[in-house]
Amino acid sequence: MHLPTKRLPAEWEPQDAVLLVWPHANTDWAYCLDEAQHVLGEIETAIRRFERVVMVRADACAIPSNDIWARDFGPITIKEDGQPVLLDFTFNGWGGKFEAKLDNAITGLLHRRGEFGETPLRTVPLILEGGSIESDGAGTILTTEECLLNPNRNPQFSKEQIEKKLKAEFGANTILWLKHGHMAGDDTDAHIDTLARLCPDRTIVYVACDDPADEHYDDLKAMERELQAFDGYRLLPLPWPGAKYDTDGERLPATYANYLVINGAVLVPTYNDPKDFQALEVIEKAFPDREIIGIDCSTLIRQHGSLHCVTMQIPNGVL
């Protein structure tokens, strides 16, 4: 009996398109809708220079949405015997924090409409968001215990059972767990794409806090030590932007790790911060063969996410 070889492609592998969801008035973006649509428009324009965009719009394509965080409810594409297969995990609003039924249905609706061509879709009975896992395309997955082991996701499964499921669904052989790392104002329970990212040539780009007075300092230092303990990785620390707050004085999760890799480029969130340029330089070291494009995501963090969170790449062969 032939068992299919499975692989979760790295984000830097060739892509057909990126999935985006347009902000509308029936979302939490209503109070700053023009600014939110402007940022999504900038992201869309940048992506279209290099590849296609699949844009979900409640008005134009009559696909309703609760929000725009495509990373966490969009399809996760694996390669099975070299052919793409879309996996549709359950999205429960990051552990029931927000209404998510419409978002959870989007991948299935798009598939039934033929937006993903002939590519098969498999529904997986596991709560999992795309922002909670990082893949190097070669069998290693990086994730956080705070998210994947949180009782608000899959409380019926132990760490060992979750690890077994990740290996089975993604064909992985190594799961790297981080115990430490969080961002104030983050609703996701420490998604890895806000903290540390796998890059080509066994490189990890990660957020590093250099201010001992900052509330993140001890935890991010502990995360850095965990990363240093992983075998054989080149570590590139990202700069720490100045603290950003909303109008109520709540800290917002400004992180440079929330970038998107596309064909020929990397789109990096910036925050009108003196550290923006330095962040672009660090990411250029990890992706020296790509154009590095900064996009001001000061608006996106007002709803506690950033650039990577609003995107989901569609690997080549899907469309």
State how many domains the chain has.
1
pLDDT in tens, 260-272: 999 999 999 999 9
Does a structural domain hold residue 1? no
Burial of 152 (0-12, 13-18, 19+ CB in 10 A): middle
The pLDDT of residue 3 is above 80: no
The pLDDT of residue 179 is above 90: yes
Does a structural domain hold residue 210? yes
Are 211 and 217 in contact, with CB atoms under 8 Å apart? yes
Does a structural domain hold residue 85? yes
The pLDDT assigned to 184 comes to 96
Does a structural domain hold residue 135? yes
How large a percentage of the chain has pLDDT more than 70? 100
Q: Which amino acid is at 219?
A: D
pLDDT in tens, 273-316: 999 999 999 999 999 999 999 999 999 999 999 999 999 999 99
Does a structural domain hold residue 204? yes
The pLDDT of residue 2 is above 90: no
pLDDT in tens, 13-63: 999 999 999 999 999 999 999 999 999 999 999 999 999 999 999 988 899
Does a structural domain hold residue 14? yes
What is the domain-level CATH number for residue 152? Answer: 3.75.10.10
In three-state secondary structure terms, 93 is: helix
pTM: 0.97
For residue 82, how far is the Cα from the chain centroid? Answer: 23
pLDDT in tens, 84-107: 999 999 999 999 999 999 999 999
Which H or E element spans position 225? Answer: helix 217-229
Does a structural domain hold residue 80? yes
**Residues spanned by the domain of 184:** 6-315
The pLDDT of residue 193 is above 80: yes
Burial of 53 (0-12, 13-18, 19+ CB in 10 A): middle
Does a structural domain hold residue 205? yes
d(CA 26, CA 251): 25
The pLDDT of residue 111 is above 90: yes
The pLDDT assigned to 61 comes to 82
